[in-house]
Amino acid sequence: MSFSPLIRQLIDAFRVLPGVGQKTAQRMALQLLERDRSGGQRLAQALTQAMNGVGYCRECRSLSEEELCHLCSDQRRDESLLCIVQGPMDVYAVEQTGYRGRYFVLKGHLSPLDGLGPENIGIPELIGRINKGRFSEVILATNPTVEGEATAHYIAQILAEKQLIISRLAHGMPLGGELEMVDGGTLSHAFSGRRPIQL
């Protein structure tokens, strides 16, 4: 079936979303056009407002409508801790743990094959943030992927000369998981990160 230019344009617009293929984009577009035009108008308005009104915090580089996000403007947070994450979604995930320190958001991970070097992900800005802060510990919370590990290692090497504790999030067994279902890499990390039981 051949769609008209405007419908095809709407379908293509939905395809920019992660995990949305051709068929899903078609269903979304046709659902809005056939059954929920007011929802489509709300979506268009919210999308336009967000694209125009949401930028990046000047301190942590997370998404924010203000120059300084609500986390960076909170004076009750621990100024001695800096958690480095790969993206804004990671900030929301870490916040659920009760962490009360500061953040720095990279723009992804190092990936020479994709043309992402230190400057592309914000390493110079990270060094500037650390130099002007009063941090005693830097927590490397990059993803436990090959690229995330390489990024964490690179940052740790750069920060090695500074008087900082450099820590990495632990990797290992998921809570509620079963040993037979855990992959070899995760199990290997769990063994290397084992610690004595405190009684």
72 close to 102: Cβ distance less than 8 angstroms: yes
Please give the pLDDT value at position 1: 64
CA–centroid distance for 173 within its chain: 22
Helical residues (DSSP H) of the chain, grouped into ranges: 5-14, 22-35, 37-53, 88-95, 118-121, 123-132, 146-159, 184-192
* pLDDT, mean of residues 104-132: 93
Amino acid found at 97: T
* pLDDT, mean of residues 117-124: 93
The pair of three-digit structure tokens given for residue 166, joined into one six-digit string: 């450099």
Sequence-distant (≥ 6) Cβ neighbours of residue 195 within 8 angstroms? none
Please give the pLDDT value at position 180: 78
Phi-psi region of 181 (alpha: psi -120 to 50; beta: other; left: phi over 0): alpha
121 close to 107: Cβ distance less than 8 angstroms: yes
In angstroms, rounded to a whole number, what is the distance separating the alpha carbons of residues 198 and 88?
Answer: 35
Helix (H) or strand (E) holding 103: strand 102-105
Average per-residue pLDDT for the chain: 91
Q: Kindly report the CA angle at 194 between 189 and 197, in degrees rounded to 5?
A: 155
Q: Nearest-CA neighbor of 84 among 159, 3, 2?
A: 159
In angstroms, rounded to a whole number, what is the distance separating the alpha carbons of residues 142 and 94?
Answer: 11
**198 falls in which pLDDT band (50, 70, 90)?**
confident
- CATH code, 63-168: 3.40.1360.10
136 close to 80: Cβ distance less than 8 angstroms: yes
**23 falls in which pLDDT band (50, 70, 90)?**
very high
Answer yes or no: is pLDDT of 28 > 70.
Answer: yes
CA–centroid distance for 83 within its chain: 12
Please give the pLDDT value at position 119: 93
> Alpha carbon of 113 to those of 110, 117, 147: distances in Å?
9, 9, 11
